[in-house]
Amino acid sequence: MSTKQQALFIIFGGTGDLAKRKLYPALFALYQKGIINEHFAVIGTARRPWTDQHFQAVVCESLPEQDTTAAKKFAAHFYYQSHNVNDTEHYVTLKKLAQKLDKKYQIGGNRLFYLAMSPRFFGTIAQHLKSQEIVTADGYNRVIIEKPFGHDYQSAAELNQSISKYFSEDDVFRIDHYLGKEMVQNILAIRFGNNIFNSLWNNRYIDNLQITLSESLGVEERAGYYETAGALRDMVQNHILQIVSLLTMKMPTTYSEADIRREKICALKALKVYQPQEVAENFVRAQYQAANGLKGYRQEDQIASDSQTETFVAGKLKVASENFAGVPIYIRTGKRLRQKATRIDVIFKPVPGNIFADQNLADNILTIKVEPEGKVSLQVNVKKIGQGYQLQEQQLDLSPENRNGQQIAEAYEKLLLDALAGDATNFTHWEEVAYSWKFVDAIRQAWDNSQQPLVEYPCGSMGPKQADELLAIDHRHWIY
């Protein structure tokens, strides 16, 4: 999709880490492709007293090519307003600036409000956008909301209620950047574009699913946020459960936003919400400890020396749906693990009545590697070349061929373009968020109310042994 778009972006949190690392480079990529060109402007807002010139210099610095004419022309579309989101007066100034830029760049009233700030401000921003008439009557008004959407089901419901007073669900784009990743988007193509996978995608043929989101980085500069979140809220509630929904949803009636959403909601609703005893049996929480020259979590800046925050979660999920009942979904995510790896392994059941049973055949495994390198492969068994009849495993590379040598777009670039085009297929609907929180809340509450220990794992490992035992008890092991 390369239709030209016109919009005024208003970024709340314009001086923040996300804006600099992800949003400005993503907008620049759209600019270089000509998708946003003349008829766009960006207002960055935050409290610090920057000038437009300083802001433009910061934007340039955030780009992969900083000193080119294109970068400078692009940054000239950026304006800064010092703004405390709690201060009504600031919205009056913001409105005037927005009107001026709308006219200058002939934008036609389209506005995209990006809330790249702590969620505690989302309600007040939404309210002021309406009450101070920063929304327009002659174009669209869409609000993109960063994660985390709430802290638990209750706070998410309250937040949703306060936003929905001012914006309809169709104009709310709850971002989960994993849904913008090329290989995550590939899941539906692989499942529903191939009868060989579509017809086998159920509990008669799939033995188990494994999802790994491992990171080599530690908590970095985000201690304040991470201490209130932990790996369960930071990664499981959103990214992992979104992947689970794509893997277990039924085939939608059509490839459309409404039909896909409906099936994803059903998939999340079908997740078994655990009782406290079941949480203890099916979930492991752990924290990284100093090893391999790296600090332990409790020695990191601004982390309490007795912090109970989990930096690793592994779990076994159960789905109460016709197609997935009885298929365990093993999930795992953590910081300071051996390496960055985001992957999905679909392990198929062995051939019934296998005539090669004495040869210890490898499982058929479909692997979708999301990162660091996007790849799809299928493990099969073939005859070894030569005399006799021995089998050997073979990896079939099913990776999408990049026929035009295109650079793969970053998740934020794709999602920003979707939001500009009004396509919410790759954003999360409120009901998806609600069911995800209900699932996660049960685990969090069980942990908070129980003596279930927070176990340790050394930096650079793949997590604690308890995460391996979760599978071993079922006579399985992690494929990765």
Ligand X SMILES: O=C1O[C@H](COP(=O)(O)O)[C@@H](O)[C@H](O)[C@H]1O
Ligand Y SMILES: NC(=O)C1=CN([C@@H]2O[C@H](COP(=O)(O)OP(=O)(O)OC[C@H]3O[C@@H](n4cnc5c(N)ncnc54)[C@H](OP(=O)(O)O)[C@@H]3O)[C@@H](O)[C@H]2O)C=CC1
Residues annotated in a binding site for NADP(+): 13-20, 47, 147
* Residue 15 touches ligand Y, criterion: CB under 6 A: yes
Residues 6+ apart with CB under 8 A from 99: none
Q: What is the Cα–Cα distance from 285 to 111, expressed in whole angstroms?
A: 42
Cis peptide before 372 (omega within 30 of 0): yes
Residue carrying the six token digits 């709690």 = 86
* Residue 48 touches ligand Y, criterion: CB under 6 A: yes
Half-sphere exposure of 32 (CA within 13 A, CB side): 17
Q: Which residues of 41-77 are buried (b: 16+ CB within 10 A; e: fewer)?
A: bbbbbbeeebeeeebbebbbebbeeeeeeebeebbeb
Q: Out of 47, 100, 340, 384, which residue is the one contacting ligand Y (CB under 6 A)? A: 47
Classified as helix, coil or strand, 310 is: coil
* Residue 93 touches ligand Y, criterion: CB under 6 A: no
Q: If contact means CB under 5 to 8 A according to the sort of partner, which of ligand X, ligand Y, none does residue 15 touch?
A: ligand Y
* Residue 476 touches ligand Y, criterion: CB under 6 A: no
Q: State both tokens at 298.
A: 């409790």
Q: State both tokens at 127.
A: 């309210």
Q: Minimum Å distance from CB 357 to ligand Y?
A: 48
Q: Minimum Å distance from CB 85 to ligand Y?
A: 4
Q: What is the Cα–Cα distance from 211 to 206, expressed in whole angstroms?
A: 14
* Residue 151 touches ligand Y, criterion: CB under 6 A: no
Query: Residues 325-344: x/- map of binding to ligand X (CB under 6 A)?
Result: -----------------x--
- C-beta of residue 398 within 8 angstroms of C-beta of residue 383: no
Q: Which residue is nearest to ligand Y (CB)?
A: 16
Q: What is the Cα–Cα distance from 48 to 429, expressed in whole angstroms?
A: 33
Q: If contact means CB under 5 to 8 A according to the sort of partner, which of ligand X, ligand Y, none does residue 102 touch?
A: none
Distances (CA, A) of 275 to 210, 229, 319, 340, 429: 22, 21, 15, 32, 26
Q: What one-character-per-residue DSSP string does 84-121 give?
A: -TT-HHHHHHHHHHHHHHHHHTT-TT-EEEEE-S-GGG
Q: Which is nearer to ligand X, 237 or 282 (CB)?
A: 237
Stretch that binds ligand Y, among 40-48, 60-68, 429-437, 462-470 (CB under 6 A): 40-48
Helix (H) or strand (E) holding 264: helix 257-269
Q: Minimum Å distance from CB 239 to ligand X?
A: 6
Q: Out of 8, 13, 183, 218, which residue is the one contacting ligand Y (CB under 6 A)? A: 13
Residues 6+ apart with CB under 8 A from 123: 158, 159, 162, 163
Q: Which is nearer to ligand X, 56 or 309 (CB)?
A: 309
Q: Minimum Å distance from CB 300 to ligand X?
A: 13
Q: What are phi and psi of 276, to 5 degrees?
A: -50, -45
Annotation marks residue 477 as catalytic: no
Q: What is the Cα–Cα distance from 480 to 463, expressed in whole angstroms?
A: 12
Q: Minimum Å distance from CB 31 to ligand Y?
A: 21
Q: Minimum Å distance from CB 190 to ligand X?
A: 20
Q: If contact means CB under 5 to 8 A according to the sort of partner, which of ligand X, ligand Y, none does residue 48 touch?
A: ligand Y
Q: Which is nearer to ligand Y, 46 or 190 (CB)?
A: 46
Q: If contact means CB under 5 to 8 A according to the sort of partner, which of ligand X, ligand Y, none does residue 84 touch?
A: ligand Y
Q: How many residues bind ligand Y, per CB under 6 A? A: 21
Q: Out of 36, 85, 179, 268, which residue is the one contacting ligand Y (CB under 6 A)? A: 85
Stretch that binds ligand Y, among 51-59, 111-119, 375-383, 456-464 (CB under 6 A): 111-119
Which residue in 76, 18, 6 sits closest to 46, CA to CA? 18
Q: What SS3 string covers 415-439?
A: HHHHHHHCCCCCCECHHHHHHHHHH
Distances (CA, A) of 240 to 203, 234, 340, 344, 479: 20, 10, 15, 10, 17
* Residue 30 touches ligand Y, criterion: CB under 6 A: no
Q: What is the Cα–Cα distance from 95 to 101, expressed in whole angstroms?
A: 10
* Residue 59 touches ligand Y, criterion: CB under 6 A: no
Catalytic residue among 239, 429, 475, 477: 239
Amino acid at the residue 37: N
* Residue 300 touches ligand X, criterion: CB under 6 A: no
Considering Cα of 312, then 246, then 29, then 82, what sign does the dihedral take?
A: negative
Q: How many residues bind ligand X, per CB under 6 A? A: 4
Q: If contact means CB under 5 to 8 A according to the sort of partner, which of ligand Y, ligand X, none does residue 263 touch?
A: none
Q: Minimum Å distance from CB 58 to ligand X?
A: 22
Q: Which is nearer to ligand Y, 49 or 353 (CB)?
A: 49
* Residue 83 touches ligand Y, criterion: CB under 6 A: yes
Query: Residues 213-252: x/- map of binding to ligand X (CB under 6 A)?
Result: --x------------------x------------------
Q: Out of 7, 27, 35, 46, which residue is the one contacting ligand Y (CB under 6 A)? A: 46
* Residue 146 touches ligand X, criterion: CB under 6 A: no
Query: Which residues are designated catalytic?
Result: 239
Catalog residues that contact ligand X under the rule CB under 6 A: 177, 215, 234, 342
Q: Tell me which residues touch ligand Y (CB under 6 A).
A: 13-18, 46-48, 83-86, 116-119, 146-148, 225
